Amino acid sequence: MTINNRLNKLYETAARIPFNNRSKIVIFSDCHRGEGSWADNFAKNQGLYYHALNHYYDSGFTYIELGDGDELWENKRLQDIVDTYRNIYRLFSRFYSKNRLHMLFGNHDMEKRNPKKTKCLDTIFDSRKNCMCACCPGIQFPESLVLKHENSNQEILLIHGHQADFLNYNLWMISRFLVRYVWKPLEAIGVRDPTSAAKNYKRRISVERKLIDWVKKGDCMLIAGHTHRPVFPSAEEPAYYNDGSCVHPRCITCIEIAGGEIMLAKWAYFIKKDGTVSVGREMLEAPRKLSPESVKTR
């Protein structure tokens, strides 16, 4: 199956999530939550992420995660990751209880497409109550979703993006083996993982070109992750967007849709003149209206 056919099938079979100009949606991906060891690339940004997640929950946003939320190539058990970041999963449960949580699987957490592998998310231990409580019972992890505007019928395809990466889609089990047993220990001494589109710029460019090609052929907006490179095209460019990742050296990035507009945001630590440090949100690109000119039905 060609990449275009694969993406067409994901678009056609995806569940539709209705939204309108009053909706508030935040899109993250590539958190790569680990189990707190030296190899856990998410650990350094967990404070930023937790603060941002609280902000979006309190502000009434729906949270969408485009895959690779959990690092299941380097780590074998999802339960270990949940135990490490129990505070984050408790917050996920609050989103989930209000029907404001949607999560896709990516190449690094492809195992989550199997409900048996995510059974541990049904409950979570609450140390304050000293008992197991509901977390995200029955949550499913599809490969794609489509946001559909209630009034204009405009549609936006949401995927992880590894579908355009032969090594990380067709040969994902081989890539997982290499990451788990070869590149993970070598990463400790600074060796880059050549299987990663995020660390290999040639692979990243190749993946982006294939995704952009699909956007051009179908004239449909696409939001993805996978490459870790934030992309916010100009009005004249193909409507391929990328939310970046949560494992940047000094920040996390995401895409927000609110008030009928789309924007690229960054959360980072900011140092004030008096030397105090605070967590803040910054717009990386000016908000742009979602309109028939920027989002078209196929």
Beta bridge partners of 227: none
pLDDT at 195 over 70: no
Which residues contact residue 120 at a Cβ distance below 8 angstroms, ignoring those fewer than 6 apart? 78, 79, 82
Minimum mean pLDDT range among 34-38, 85-89, 125-129, 271-275: 125-129
Mean of pLDDT over the chain: 91
Domain count of the chain? Answer: 1
Decide: 231 and 241 in contact? Cβ < 8 Å.
yes
Is the pLDDT higher at 39 or at 104? 104
Mean pLDDT value across residues 254-280: 94
- Domain assignment present for 46: yes
Mean pLDDT value across residues 82-89: 96
Question: Domain holding 123: CATH number?
Answer: 3.60.21.10
Angstrom distance (rounded) from CA 65 to CA 288: 21
Vertex 64 angle, CA 3 and 246, to 5°: 85
Minimum mean pLDDT range among 71-85, 96-110, 200-214, 243-257: 200-214
pLDDT at 116 over 70: yes
Mean pLDDT value across residues 71-94: 96
Buried b (16+ CB within 10 A) or exposed e, 160-181: bbbbbbebbbeebeebbebbee
Cα–Cα separations (whole angstroms), residue 232 to 159, 174, 242, 249, 284: 16, 32, 7, 20, 9
Mean pLDDT value across residues 163-189: 80
Minimum mean pLDDT range among 48-52, 98-102, 140-144, 188-192: 188-192
How confident is the model over 270-289, as pLDDT tens digits? 988 898 999 999 999 989 99
Angstrom distance (rounded) from CA 74 to CA 77: 10
Mean pLDDT value across residues 81-87: 96
- Domain assignment present for 297: no
pLDDT at 295 over 80: no
- Domain assignment present for 52: yes
- Domain assignment present for 193: yes
- Domain assignment present for 79: yes
- Domain assignment present for 294: no
- Per-residue confidence band for 197, with pLDDT thresholds at 50, 70 and 90: low
Mean pLDDT value across residues 52-80: 97
Decide: 30 and 225 in contact? Cβ < 8 Å.
yes
- Domain assignment present for 238: yes
Structural domain containing residue 264: 3-289
- Per-residue confidence band for 296, with pLDDT thresholds at 50, 70 and 90: low
- Per-residue confidence band for 123, with pLDDT thresholds at 50, 70 and 90: very high
pLDDT at 196 over 70: no
Mean pLDDT value across residues 247-264: 96
pLDDT at 223 over 80: yes
pLDDT at 29 over 90: yes
- Per-residue confidence band for 192, with pLDDT thresholds at 50, 70 and 90: low
Minimum mean pLDDT range among 61-65, 182-186, 226-230, 271-275: 182-186
- Per-residue confidence band for 202, with pLDDT thresholds at 50, 70 and 90: confident
- Domain assignment present for 295: no
How confident is the model over 153-174, as pLDDT tens digits? 899 999 999 999 988 888 888 8
Backbone angles phi, psi at 284, to 5 degrees: -85, -30
